[in-house]
Amino acid sequence: MIKAQNAAARLKASVDQAPNKKLAWYHHYSMGMVELEKKNYPEAIELFRQGQPLLNADSGEQLLFADGMGTGFYKLDDLDNARLEYEKIISLFLDRLDYGDIYVRSYYWLGKISEKQGNKAEAAGHYRKFLDLWKDADPGQPEVADARRRLGAISK
């Protein structure tokens, strides 16, 4: 955690000296991720909100910010806002190849959100989509085993 915070501070110092101040999105994103790890979800969400407008509207990094905010909202049990962020990710066509893991995991998170909101059929559909998209990807990811377990439990 200390190394991440130090790296973010060095990044901020570099951005402060750069002619393009929009590069500050790197710092906001890095610090948002640090705050997520520290379980300081409101601060993380605020950092993501501050950094997101610095991106171009068609920037693939929009997925990074939406994912961070979605995680923060989910952890705060603000399921409606978490859903909005993850639905934003699956609706964007920006850099799905570069951020394919985020795109695919969005279905996993939407499954968890739907499940928590009591919509088992919708949750099952999201888990199936996640598992189908992930089937040839990195094995051993914890979300895969969790999605299979959850799908099995709600499909009974």
Model confidence over 34-55: pLDDT tens digits?
999 999 999 999 999 999 998 8
Looking at the structure of the chain, the number of domains it has is 2
- The structure tokens listed for 25 are 């999105």
Q: Is the pLDDT of residue 119 over 90?
A: yes
Band of pLDDT at residue 150, cut at 50, 70 and 90: very high
Domain that holds residue 145: 66-74+82-156
Residue 136 lies in a domain: yes
What is the H or E stretch that residue 144 is in? helix 142-154
Lowest mean pLDDT among 19-33, 40-54, 57-71, 113-127: 19-33
> Do 88 and 137 fall within a single domain?
yes
Q: Can you tell me the distance from the alpha carbon of 140 to that of 142, in angstroms, rounded to the nearest whole number?
A: 6
Mean confidence (pLDDT) of the chain: 88
Distance (Å) of CA 153 to CA 94, 120, 129, 139, 147: 34, 10, 16, 22, 10
More confident residue, 9 or 87: 87
> Do 39 and 87 fall within a single domain?
no
Through-space distance between the first and last CA atoms of the chain, rounded to whole angstroms: 41
**Which CATH number characterizes residue 93's domain?**
1.25.40.10
**Per-residue pLDDT averaged across 26-39, rounded?**
91
Which residue type is seen at 69? M
| pLDDT (tens digit per residue) in 1-25 | 677 666 666 666 666 665 555 677 8
Residue 135 lies in a domain: yes
Residue 61 lies in a domain: no
Q: Can you tell me the distance from the alpha carbon of 141 to that of 100, in angstroms, rounded to the nearest whole number?
A: 14
Q: Can you tell me the distance from the alpha carbon of 67 to that of 150, in angstroms, rounded to the nearest whole number?
A: 21
| pLDDT in the model for residue 16 | 61
Percent of the chain with pLDDT over 70: 85
